[in-house]
Amino acid sequence: MDRILAKARDRQSKLVASCDTIYATAEKEDREVNEQERAALNTNLAEMKTLSATIQEREAIEEYRRTTMPVRETGFEDGAPGQPRVVKNSFQDDPNKGFKTPTEFFSSVMEATKAGQVRDERLRFLTTAGSDEHGTYSDPYGGFLVPAGFSPNMLSVQAETDPTAGRTTQVPMESPQVSWPARTDKTHTTSVSGGLRVYRRAETQTVSSSRMETELVTLTATELMGLTYATDKLLRESPISITALLEAGFRDEFGAKVLYEKIHGTGAGQMEGVINAPCTVSVAIETGQDADSIVYENIIKMRSQCWGYQNAIWLYNHDCLPQLMQLVMVIGTSGVPMWQNSAREGEPDMLLGRPAYPTEFCSTVGDVGDIILGNWSQYLEGTRRGIERAESMHVRFEYAEQAFRFLMENDGRCWWRSALTPKKSSTTLSPFVTLAARA
């Protein structure tokens, strides 16, 4: 089979399977396809459309070759010396051209060299190229007439998916700034409801009054924009859809930028990253702990300070993986691994019973943010406008170029403004926990 055709069919099957997985995940979680998943679907569909064109072209070539091009049916079997005879096997399809062993082939070549002529008919395929015919072996005499092959499929490194997608609290923003009232209930020493209190009383006694304290949590959408130019000639003559290529590329870029800001964003004119959130708890390192190391006690203490651990996930930089996989809970002379490798394809690894995802956007090992434990349901992700594409021929009209602009408007932050102080402990809890720097 045509190798290009086989690869195109295989890639198309993988893209279809990827789309099915996205829909199955959304259905399993009883929700609509989110924006990140929609972007992945659109990218897959664009590539599938290109692949369909490639498959159609290669299938037409295969059909032409099968029904039109002649096949030599001359083959050879052992018989009288120098007496080849026709057999049913196709000589063209025989990779050994009738020779049983390499020794037999080389012996026949040596005899032909000594005699100065080809006596073994099985060697005729070596004499088909001469010096007076047109052929692809010489550019001036035919090679230039055979164009080089070109695949319409663009090679690229697959963009990293957002592990937090579908886990944050999605907030549609009908205006550039939206505020929500929130109960200030992050100190449970006397009240768990932001100040209200209840008392036991005797029948004729009254109790002290109390009141609840509230605050406003505000999201302010700002624009994220990408801009590029392409010549009209490129758009007109490229066998690859430049528009689809740019759209897929910018979708990857927008997704990467949003994930980076969810982790590292300052909150000033951009999303607030969980590393910089005022409620985030940073677990101190152990006494005498080596630089750039992760030890068992670090992970246990991070787990102990995570609020809503049953909904939390671990994010870690790839540099951390070798150490995480070797963490062991010591029991006697043996131990129990804290890390559990995924038992099923497509499922994440587990750390202390919760999913663990590698991401290049976490800090390198040893820096704050190299490993993050987060309950992302407490993170508000507001969208004013999804990714919008606009084109203009006027910006560089005199250069015969098109301008492509991609724009989205959003904001995000954890709505907790402080960590939670429990009723009977001074150890605070937070939906987001990091590990202090180990320099």
Q: Is 10 exposed, middle or buried (0-12, 13-18, 19+ CB in 10 A)?
A: exposed
Q: Which helix (H) or strand (E) is 116 found in, with range?
A: none
283: how many CB neighbours lie within 10 A of its CB?
A: 21
In percent, the amount of the chain with pLDDT more than 70 equals: 83
* pLDDT value for 85: 45
d(C-alpha 418, C-alpha 186), whole Å: 7
pLDDT confidence bin for 89, thresholds 50/70/90: very low
Domain residue extents for the chain: 70-129, 242-435
* pLDDT value for 240: 87
From 4-8, 81-85, 99-103, 122-126, the region with the lowest mean pLDDT: 81-85
316: how many CB neighbours lie within 10 A of its CB?
A: 25
The CA-CA-CA angle for residues 43, 49, 55, to 5°, reads: 135
* pLDDT value for 137: 56
Structure token digits, residue 20: 């099915």
| pTM (two decimals) | 0.68
d(C-alpha 183, C-alpha 417), whole Å: 11
Residues 160, 166, 167, 172, CA torsion sign: positive
Task: Look at strands 339-340 and 371-374 and give their pairing.
Answer: unpaired
Give residue-wise pLDDT tens across range 186-242.
999 999 999 999 999 999 999 999 999 999 999 999 999 999 999 999 999 888 899
Pseudo-torsion of CA 230, 231, 236, 240, nearest 10°? -30
Pseudo-torsion of CA 97, 99, 100, 102, nearest 10°? -110
* pLDDT value for 32: 86
The Cβ-side half-sphere exposure at 405, using a 13 Å CA radius, reads 11
Contact 156, 245 (CB under 8 A): no
SS3 414: strand
Q: Which helix (H) or strand (E) is 157 found in, with range?
A: none
Residue labelled with tokens 């059909």: 63
* pLDDT value for 127: 52
User: What 8-state DSSP symbol labels residue 368?
Assistant: T
From 136-145, 191-200, 244-253, the region with the lowest mean pLDDT: 136-145
355: how many CB neighbours lie within 10 A of its CB?
A: 16
Contact 137, 131 (CB under 8 A): no
Q: Which helix (H) or strand (E) is 66 found in, with range?
A: helix 35-67
Helices (H), 277-411: 296-304, 321-324
Contact 91, 97 (CB under 8 A): yes
287: how many CB neighbours lie within 10 A of its CB?
A: 6
Residue labelled with tokens 């890639």: 11
Write the DSSP string, 82-102: T-----SS-TTT-TTTT-SSH
Q: How far is CA 73 from CA 80, 90, 94, 121, 178, in A?
A: 20, 5, 10, 14, 78
d(C-alpha 421, C-alpha 409), whole Å: 35
SS3 194: coil
**Total length of the chain:** 439
Give residue-wise pLDDT tens across range 349-369.
999 999 999 999 999 999 999
Give residue-wise pLDDT tens across range 112-129.
666 655 566 666 555 554
Structure token digits, residue 339: 């890390």
* pLDDT value for 283: 98
Q: How far is CA 288 from CA 128, 320, 437, 438, 439, in A?
A: 78, 19, 13, 10, 12
* pLDDT value for 87: 42
pLDDT confidence bin for 156, thresholds 50/70/90: confident
User: What 8-state DSSP symbol labels residue 420?
Assistant: B
* pLDDT value for 37: 86
The Cβ-side half-sphere exposure at 238, using a 13 Å CA radius, reads 16
Contact 112, 123 (CB under 8 A): yes
Mean of pLDDT values over 37-43: 87
Structure token digits, residue 421: 């102080």
Give residue-wise pLDDT tens across range 297-344.
999 999 999 999 999 999 999 999 999 999 998 888 778 899 999 988
Give residue-wise pLDDT tens across range 250-282.
999 999 999 999 999 999 999 999 999 999 999
Structure token digits, residue 10: 């295989």
Residue 69 clears pLDDT 80, i.e. is over it: no
Q: Is 417 exposed, middle or buried (0-12, 13-18, 19+ CB in 10 A)?
A: middle
Residue 10 clears pLDDT 80, i.e. is over it: yes
SS3 177: strand
Pseudo-torsion of CA 383, 387, 393, 398, nearest 10°? 90
Give residue-wise pLDDT tens across range 414-423.
999 999 999 9
pLDDT confidence bin for 133, thresholds 50/70/90: low
Residue 76 clears pLDDT 60, i.e. is over it: no
Mean of pLDDT values over 23-35: 86
* pLDDT value for 341: 94
Most trustworthy range by pLDDT among 84-98, 123-137, 156-170: 156-170
pLDDT confidence bin for 6, thresholds 50/70/90: confident
Q: Using DSSP, how many helices (H) and how many strands (E) does the chain show?
A: 7, 15
pLDDT confidence bin for 74, thresholds 50/70/90: very low
Residue labelled with tokens 């490129």: 234
Residue 88 clears pLDDT 50, i.e. is over it: no
